[in-house]
Amino acid sequence: MEPAIREATIGTPMARASEITFAPPSVSEDRTLRVWDRSTGEQLAVAVGFTDGEYLAYSRGGKYTASEGGHVHLKILENGTKQKLPDYAREVLFDPLGIGPTEWRIGPNGERNFASGIGMRPRDLARIGQMVLARGKAGERQVIADDWLEESFKPQVAMRDRREYGCHWYLGEMVFNSADGPRQERWIAAIGNGGQRLYVFPRLDLLVVITAGNYNRRDQGVPPNRVLTERILPSLRLNPN
C-alpha cells in the first residue's frame, strides 16, 4: 500500500469533501474498495484495507461530494464489521439508546444510504440528541467515545448561510431573542429531506426534534426554521431569576 494511502483514515472522504467525487464503488476479491469516475471511467485509486488497526480509504484526483462519499463509508463499515449497516446500527447504537422500530429505505442501487433514508419516531430521534448532550452516554453507559464524537463536530466544509459541515453533522451559530434578551448559541444538527430536523444546543442543554413532509421542495427548510426561531427559542427563559 502506498504511503499516501496508509496515511489516510476513514475520515478522509469527509475531511476532503470539497475535493473528491465518488462514483458507485465495487468491492474486488482482494477486499480493495475501488471507486470509479462516472464520466471518464477512470479508477480513482481508492483503497480500503485493515492496516495498523484502522480501515483506510484514500483517493487521488477527482472531486468529492459528501453525500456520495457516504456510500464509501458504508462499504468501509460493512467490510470492517462483517455486518449489514442496519444490524450494526441496531447493535451498537439503537438498542443501547432504547430506540424502537426503524426503517432504512433501500435506494435504486439496492443499497441502503449511509447518510440518509432512515425513518424513526421523533422520540427516538430525540434519544440520539440526548446522547449528544450527554457526551456520548446513555445513562451510565458510554455508547460513543466522547473524543470521537467531538471530532465529528469539527467543521470540514464551509457552506452557504454561514453554516459548516462536519462528519455528517451540520454546524452553525444562531442569533435569537430569548425571553431574557438576545443570545448567540452554537448548534449541531442532523437535517433530513422534507424538513426533518434534530437540533442540539450544547450550552443550553437543549435538543429540538421537528418532523415535516415537504419532500424535495426548495423551501422545505422554511417551516422548521420558523418553528425553531419564532416559537421555541424566543420562549426560552435562561436566567434563574
User: How do residues 8-57 score in pLDDT, each as one tens digit?
Assistant: 455 555 544 434 343 334 443 344 444 444 445 544 444 444 333 333 44
User: How do residues 85-140 score in pLDDT, each as one tens digit?
Assistant: 899 999 999 999 999 999 988 877 777 777 778 999 999 999 999 999 999 999 99
Domain ends where: 81, 114, 142?
81
Domain ends where: 81, 107, 124?
81
Q: Quick one: DSSP state of residue 180?
A: T
CB 46 within 8 A of CB 37: no
Count structural domains, the chain. Answer: 2
Range of the domain at 41: 3-81
Asked if the structure places residue 223 within a domain, the reply is yes
Strand (E) or helix (H) holding 149: helix 146-152
Asked if the structure places residue 114 within a domain, the reply is no
The pLDDT, as a whole number, for residue 122 is 97
The pLDDT, as a whole number, for residue 12 is 53
Q: Does residue 71 or residue 213 have the better pLDDT?
A: 213
Asked if the structure places residue 57 within a domain, the reply is yes
Q: What is the C-alpha to C-alpha distance for residues 137 and 191, in angstroms, rounded to an integer? A: 22
Mean pLDDT of 179-203: 94
Q: Quick one: DSSP state of residue 236?
A: -
Asked if the structure places residue 14 within a domain, the reply is yes
The pLDDT, as a whole number, for residue 226 is 95
Lowest mean pLDDT among 66-70, 84-88, 119-123, 207-211: 66-70
Q: What is the C-alpha to C-alpha distance for residues 69 and 11, in angstroms, rounded to an integer? A: 10
User: CA nearest 214: which of 196, 232, 233?
Assistant: 196
Pairing of strands 118-119, 206-210: unpaired
Q: What is the C-alpha to C-alpha distance for residues 53 and 65, in angstroms, rounded to an integer? A: 27
Asked if the structure places residue 142 within a domain, the reply is no
| Top-ranked range on mean pLDDT: pick from 53-67, 71-85, 151-165 | 151-165
**Which contacts qualify for 168-177: CB closer than 8 Å, 24 or more apart?**
168/14, 168/66, 168/70, 168/115, 174/229, 174/233, 176/229, 176/233, 176/234, 177/233, 177/234
The pLDDT, as a whole number, for residue 240 is 61
Asked if the structure places residue 192 within a domain, the reply is yes
Asked if the structure places residue 99 within a domain, the reply is no
| Top-ranked range on mean pLDDT: pick from 55-59, 82-86, 150-154, 178-182 | 150-154
Tell me: pLDDT of 143 over 60.
yes
| pTM passes above 0.85 | no
Confidence of residue 72 (pLDDT cuts 50, 70, 90): low
The pLDDT, as a whole number, for residue 61 is 42
The pLDDT, as a whole number, for residue 14 is 52
Q: How far is CA 167 from CA 39, 70, 133, 152, 174, in A?
A: 27, 10, 17, 5, 20
The pLDDT, as a whole number, for residue 167 is 83
> Considering the chain, what is the average pLDDT of its residues?
76
Domain ends where: 81, 101, 135?
81
Confidence of residue 235 (pLDDT cuts 50, 70, 90): very high
Asked if the structure places residue 159 within a domain, the reply is yes
